[in-house]
Amino acid sequence: MPLVLLPPEPAKADTESLVAALKKNREWFDQMIIKNSAVLLRGFDVKNAEDFNEIVEACGWEDIRYIGPAPRTHIYKRVWTANEGPLSEFIYYHHEMVLFKENPKKVILFCEVPPPEGGETPFVPSFRVTERMLEEFPEEVEEMEKKGLMYTFTAPSTNNISSMRGRGWQDAFGTPDPAEAERRVKAMGMDVEWLPDGGLKTIIRPRSLTRVFEGRKGRRMWYNTVVGMHGKEISSATMIDGTEIPDHVVKRCGEILDEESIQFKWEKGDVLFFDNMALLHGRRPSLPPRKVLVATCK
């Protein structure tokens, strides 16, 4: 993992040939992503956001707009920057948009500028985390599964690009109008609390600890963001009845995630497809420059 696909010959490394091949082999390519969880296109002449967007659209998957705390900038059509938070910080492992009722099945990343050092995008087979957590903490896992989870997250009133999770609620929910923002948040199944400083606190419940998805061998995926949100300054993760999740359980889960991670080093022009139902992903600290673009698909 990942399955690496290279140009069949130098003359077919251009974007036009790649796009034609993807259109012709859509069903097979989709099966390869589900079978392998991640597929890397390497050695193709993919130069910029426009080329990347052509590749995304060639696959025929419907777009899904990113919602979440990560600061991002729209670049071109279906293409956005990946998390623009400080490169010096590690981005915890997560399934994209895991907190929301609707989340992408596919996440596609394009490396326009590889970092000189660090900046890998490691990913983790989600079912392995569940297996290991059940081995080490069977009672705690089943209690969390039975009760369900509750998260809170606070978004500032305006963007704070100095934070990995500093996206303001106006940007995150696409409106400067508090009433409309509240309506959109509630439509996603979340409760709202307005703070004195103009920030918006969301309460997200109930959410499951694990999930099983069709076509993934019945595997129980670790489909939550407990490690990323537990005990943080602007977020929390508890069981739905308010029972705290033990610190040592969360700490050990974070270690397991790292132990099970597959390290992936970027090369210029790489396009990585991964199954968001099966893999968690993160970002290693990096020296600048690093430019990775992203598209998310239903």
* pLDDT of 266: 97
Same domain for 113 and 11, yes or no, is yes
Q: Which CATH number is 71's domain given?
A: 3.60.130.10
SS3 assignment, position 14: strand
Same domain for 26 and 107, yes or no, is yes
Q: Which domain holds residue 222?
A: 127-257
Same domain for 150 and 243, yes or no, is yes
Same domain for 22 and 111, yes or no, is yes
Residue 117 · residue 289 · CB < 8 Å = no
Same domain for 11 and 52, yes or no, is yes
* pLDDT of 164: 73
* pLDDT of 124: 98
Mean pLDDT of 281-285: 97
Answer whether residue 209 shows pLDDT above 90.
yes
State how beta strands 3-5 and 38-41 pair: parallel
Sheet holding 190-194, edge to edge: 190-194, 200-207, 149-155, 235-239
* pLDDT of 70: 84
**C-beta atoms surrounding 146 within 10 Å:** 10
Answer whether residue 162 shows pLDDT above 80.
no
Could you identify the residue written with the tokens 């090369």?
267
Same domain for 252 and 131, yes or no, is yes
The overall average pLDDT reported for the chain is 95
Same domain for 150 and 197, yes or no, is yes
Same domain for 189 and 267, yes or no, is no
Residue 289, preceding bond cis, omega within 30 degrees?
yes
Residue 281 · residue 296 · CB < 8 Å = no
Element (H, E) at 186: helix 178-187
Mean pLDDT of 165-185: 91
Using pLDDT thresholds of 50, 70 and 90, give the confidence band for residue 174: confident
Q: What is the pLDDT of residues 180-205, one digit of tens each?
A: 999 999 998 899 999 999 999 999 99
What percent of the chain has a predicted confidence (pLDDT) above 90? 89
Q: What is the pLDDT of residues 20-74, one digit of tens each?
A: 999 999 999 999 999 999 999 999 999 999 999 999 999 999 999 888 888 899 9
Same domain for 146 and 72, yes or no, is no
How many CA atoms are closer than 13 Å to the CA of 298, on its beta-carbon side?
8
187: Cβ contacts below 8 Å, ≥ 6 apart: none
Please give the Cα distance from 270 to 74 (Å, whole number): 20
The total of structural domains in the chain comes to 2
Query: How would you class 44 by CB atoms within 10 Å of its CB: exposed for 0-12, middle for 13-18, buried for 19 or more?
Result: buried
Same domain for 53 and 97, yes or no, is yes
118: which 2 tokens?
């660090």
Same domain for 73 and 173, yes or no, is no
Q: What is the pLDDT of residues 65-106, one digit of tens each?
A: 888 888 899 999 999 999 998 999 999 999 999 998 899 999
* pLDDT of 149: 98
Q: What is the pLDDT of residues 231-263, one digit of tens each?
A: 998 999 999 999 999 999 999 999 999 999 999
Answer whether residue 1 shows pLDDT above 90.
no
Same domain for 189 and 273, yes or no, is no
Answer whether residue 137 shows pLDDT above 80.
yes
Residue 139 · residue 223 · CB < 8 Å = no
* pLDDT of 282: 97
